[in-house]
Amino acid sequence: MEFKMAQAAAEVPPKGGFSFDLCRRNEMLSNKGVPPPSFRKTGTTIVGLIFQDGVILGADTRATEGPIVCDKNCEKIHYMAPNIYCCGAGTAADTKAVTDMVSSQLQLHRYHTGRESRVVTALTLLKYHLFNYQGYFQAALVLGGVDANGPHLHTIYPHGSTDTLPLATMGSGSLAAMAVFESKYHEGLTKAEGINLVCEAICSGIFNDLGIGSNVDVCVITKGHKEYLRNHQLPNPRTYVNSKGFSFPKKTEVLLTRVTPLEEKVEVIEGGDAMEE
């Protein structure tokens, strides 16, 4: 009787989440002197702020692999929907994978319902996914957007809990950025003041934390409009010994430059009104 039960249990496939089968083998390998590959992390400051008409998101651009800066100008503000953007801190692969996945799910949902995506939809999809993986998915996110119910800003922690706040900071520089926010935030910020405050918070992270550096990216989302200000501030310019900088001899002439963004596509809406409810 027991033998049969054991066999039946072995046949059921594992139900999702990570499989930890290789952990023992990994431990054995590292005991034998084979170091595990290091993760590309985004030791980061990401911030979000709700102002009068919408949401402002900000992020730095440094990606680290242990003690080395592996990408000096990476993008941490990810596209989710035309009216929703998400900043990600933690393991770079995890943040990119989860935001891409939820972005596709939102797109399908938009086709299905014929309406603009809501921020709480993205929030719930992200939350479910992260909770499912019990914190092993190391992505800490700041999700912001403007939908039919107004501007929203949420923070999502790697274990799946969320916060709904008017100001949010995540990442290793979150304390430095929060210090700036706490001392300078007031109600009724205008767009210019908001962008300024976000930049100051990121710069505070850049100059006071080692996992953060390079440039400041800002994304402003308002009703029906968004501005993605890539490299809005460059407080760490490259300095050259020669005051004239470098100049390479001319080789090939550039005749035409065309940049096609891969993530967003123009959507054709076949008439009908956008309903509020």
Which residues participate in catalysis according to the annotation? 44
Distance CA 258, CA 243 (A): 32
> What is d(CA 222, CA 248) in angstroms, rounded to the nearest whole number?
42
State which residue, 136 or 207, has the beta carbon closest to another protein. Answer: 207
Residue 183 binds another protein (CB under 8 A): yes
> Would you say how long the chain is, in residues?
277
Stretch that binds another protein, among 8-16, 22-30, 176-184, 242-250 (CB under 8 A): 176-184
Residues touching another protein: how many (CB under 8 A)? 26
Using CB under 8 A as the binding rule, the residues of this chain from 24 to 83 that contact another protein are 50
E strands of the chain, at which residues? 41-42, 46-50, 54-60, 63-65, 68-71, 77-81, 84-91, 139-147, 150-156, 162-164, 167-170, 216-222, 225-233
Is the distance from CB of 188 to CB of 166 less than 8 angstroms? no
Q: Does 166 bind another protein (CB under 8 A)?
A: yes
Q: Of 99 and 155, which has the nearer Cβ to another protein?
A: 155
Asked if residue 93 binds another protein (CB under 8 A), the reply is no
What's the CA gap between 192 and 183, in Å, rounded?
A: 18
Count Cβ atoms below 10 Å from residue 67 Cβ, excluding itself: 8
Residue 119 within binding range of another protein, rule CB under 8 A = yes
Q: Residue 270, interface with another protein (CB under 8 A)?
A: no
52 vs 104 by CB, closer to another protein: 52
- Report the nearest approach of another protein to the CB of residue 162 (Å): 6
The distance of closest approach from Cβ of residue 127 to another protein in the complex, given in angstroms and rounded to an integer, is 9
Copy the structure tokens of residue 54.
Answer: 């919408």
Contact 220, 227 (CB under 8 A): yes
Contact indicator for 76, 61 with CB cutoff of 8 Å: yes
> Is residue 219 at the binding interface for another protein, with CB under 8 A as the rule?
no
Give helix 119-132 / helix 92-113 axis angle, nearest 10°.
130
Which position among 132, 149, 190, 231 is part of the footprint of another protein (CB under 8 A)?
149
Integer Cα distance of 88 and 25 in angstroms? 31
Which of 55, 92 has the CB closer to another protein?
A: 55
**Which segment (74-82, 172-180, 224-232, 241-249) binds another protein by CB under 8 A?**
172-180
Q: Residue 128, interface with another protein (CB under 8 A)?
A: no
Report, in Å, the least distance between residue 204 CB and another protein: 4
Check residue 204 for interaction with another protein (CB under 8 A).
Answer: yes
Using CB under 8 A, list all residues that contact another protein.
Answer: 50, 119-120, 123, 149-150, 152, 154, 162-166, 175-176, 178-180, 182-183, 185, 187, 200, 204, 207-208
